[in-house]
Amino acid sequence: MKVNEGKIDRLVRFVLGAILLALYLADVVTGTWGTVALVVSIVLLATAATGFCGLYALLGINTCPVKQQKQQS
């Protein structure tokens, strides 16, 4: 798996995942929506931790900046 998320993308995913998880754990979001929030938060936190998003790979999206290679003389 190749990293396809940039730093800002990963930070946004982490923050949103943490917020959704906190809302679920605090019983603010319950029932079916609570389950959806829990699953989405787990996916967001996992993709933020790994730097890889399967959906991005399928769609050909890459927010990770390309590393510049040094030119050899």
SS3 assignment, position 29 = coil
Residue type, 52: F
Q: What does the block give as tokens for 41?
A: 């938060």
Residue 12 lies in a domain: yes
Residue type, 61: I
The domain total for the chain is 1
Tell me which of 25 and 66 has the higher pLDDT: 25
Residue 68 has pLDDT above 50, yes or no: no
Q: What is the pLDDT of residue 7?
A: 93
Q: Give residue 26's domain range.
A: 7-59
Q: What does the block give as tokens for 11?
A: 């930070």
Residue 68 lies in a domain: no
Give the model's confidence band at 37: pLDDT under 50 very low, under 70 low, under 90 confident, else very high.
very high
- The pTM is what? 0.83
Q: What is the pLDDT of residue 20?
A: 97
Residue 72 has pLDDT above 70, yes or no: no
